[in-house]
């Protein structure tokens, strides 16, 4: 895929995330409907509306390329990922969204041969949009409803760590294994934040490492993976092996990973 084509696709992904984020904020302001999925996790009508908006954008952007969305999979979709496909989480951090906390995100990634090559993460309540691809990674201060062409783009880069590392950790998933992992490496300073925004903090050089030692879904990871790689960082399994996306037979599960900024030389 040529660079110009990747740039066109990334622009379309950004437009999809921006429109979905605007819809989410509108529905949040006017009341949402919450129900439980078969695995007892919550879903809202805003999740479903946002996924529909994103799928429409992506289907027009790359006709025929599969869109694997969290809510479609939860609803029993039998769509298979191909060599190239999109992974979508319309609201990563639905519990935060329901609780009126700001840390939820819209995640969109393009996967090619098992690797994320383009990614967009939009945190509409915070007003931050991040994107990454072949030309590097960028951040925009984007309030929902504002045209991204009217706001300044800031190029971002992961930092080379100093003597003391700063780790991003989850509010809800800071388990004993993660605490032990951090302690063994002498990491005491942490930033607690929900959803995939943790990848963005690494990508913009505000933190150094993000370990996740419990299972998570591919659509929670892929967009952040692409952005962090574009910013000079990495996302790999704890044994340093590469992650591979599109594991439909494994329910699109990532068992664990460690995201990191620029490795010291």
* Same domain for 183 and 146: no
Residues in the chain: 265
Residue 265 included in any domain? no
Q: In whole angstroms, give the CA distance from residue 158 to residue 208.
A: 8
Tokens encoding 89: 């989480």
Q: In whole angstroms, give the CA distance from residue 205 to residue 171.
A: 20
Q: In whole angstroms, give the CA distance from residue 186 to residue 164.
A: 8
Domains identified in the chain, total number: 2
> Of 231, 262, 77, which is closest to residue 154 (Cα–Cα)?
231
* Phi and psi, residue 118, nearest 5°: -140, 145
> pTM above 0.85?
yes
* Same domain for 40 and 147: yes
Residue 20's Cβ-count burial label (10 Å; 0-12, 13-18, 19+) is buried
* Same domain for 116 and 80: yes
Q: In whole angstroms, give the CA distance from residue 11 to residue 24.
A: 20
Q: Which domain holds residue 176?
A: 166-260
Task: Note the pLDDT of residue 173.
Answer: 67
DSSP states of 192-206? E--TTHHHHHHHTTS
Q: In whole angstroms, give the CA distance from residue 47 to residue 33.
A: 10
Residue 161 included in any domain? no
- The answer to whether the CB of 158 falls within 8 A of the CB of 36 is no
Report the CATH number that the domain containing residue 216 is assigned in CATH: 3.40.190.80
User: Exposure pattern of 157-169 as b/e (b: 16+ CB <10 Å)?
Assistant: bbbebeeebbbbb
Task: Note the pLDDT of residue 40.
Answer: 86
* Same domain for 142 and 196: no
In the chain, what is the straight-line distance between the N-terminal and C-terminal CA atoms, in Å? 31
> Of 211, 235, 9, which is closest to residue 114 (Cα–Cα)?
235
Report the CATH number that the domain containing residue 121 is assigned in CATH: 3.30.540.10
pLDDT in tens, 99-152: 999 999 999 999 999 999 999 999 999 999 999 998 999 999 999 999 999 999
Q: In whole angstroms, give the CA distance from residue 260 to residue 175.
A: 19
* Same domain for 42 and 149: yes
* Same domain for 112 and 43: yes
Residue 132 included in any domain? yes
Say which residue the tokens 């383009």 belong to: 118
Task: Note the pLDDT of residue 2.
Answer: 85
Task: Note the pLDDT of residue 120.
Answer: 98
Say which residue the tokens 């995640």 belong to: 107
- The residues that bridge with 144 in the sheet, in sequence order, are none
Task: Note the pLDDT of residue 58.
Answer: 98
Residue 40 included in any domain? yes
Task: Note the pLDDT of residue 131.
Answer: 98
Taking the chain (265 residues) in consecutive chunks of 10 residues, what is each chunk's mean pLDDT?
90 98 96 91 96 98 97 91 96 94 96 98 97 96 94 96 91 82 93 93 97 95 98 96 96 96 73
Task: Note the pLDDT of residue 134.
Answer: 87
Task: Note the pLDDT of residue 171.
Answer: 74
């Amino acid at each position: 895929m040529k660079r110009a084509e990747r740039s066109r696709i990334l622009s379309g992904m950004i437009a999809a995330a921006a429109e979905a984020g605007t819809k989410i904020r509108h529905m949040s302001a006017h009341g949402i409907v919450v129900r439980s999925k078969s695995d007892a996790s919550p879903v809202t009508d805003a999740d479903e509306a946002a996924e529909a908006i994103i799928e429409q954008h992506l289907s027009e952007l790359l006709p025929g390329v599969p869109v694997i969305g969290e809510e479609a999979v939860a609803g029993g979709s039998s769509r298979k990922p191909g060599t190239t496909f999109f992974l979508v989480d319309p609201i990563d951090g639905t519990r935060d969204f329901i609780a009126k906390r700001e840390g939820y995100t819209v995640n969109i990634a393009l996967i090619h041969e098992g690797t994320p090559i383009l990614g967009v993460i939009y945190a509409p309540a915070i007003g931050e949009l991040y994107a990454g691809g072949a030309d590097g990674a960028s951040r925009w201060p984007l309030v929902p409803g504002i045209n991204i062409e009217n706001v300044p783009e800031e190029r971002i880069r992961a930092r080379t760590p100093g003597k003391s590392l700063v780790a991003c950790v989850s509010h809800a998933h800071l388990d004993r294994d993660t605490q032990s992992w951090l302690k063994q490496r002498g990491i005491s300073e942490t930033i607690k934040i929900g959803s995939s925004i943790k990848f963005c903090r690494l990508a913009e050089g505000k933190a150094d490492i993000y370990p996740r030692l419990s299972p998570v879904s591919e659509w929670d990871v892929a967009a952040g993976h692409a952005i962090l790689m574009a910013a000079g960082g990495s996302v790999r399994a704890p044994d340093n092996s590469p992650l591979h996306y599109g594991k439909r037979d494994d329910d699109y599960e990532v068992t664990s990973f460690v995201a990191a900024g620029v490795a010291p030389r």
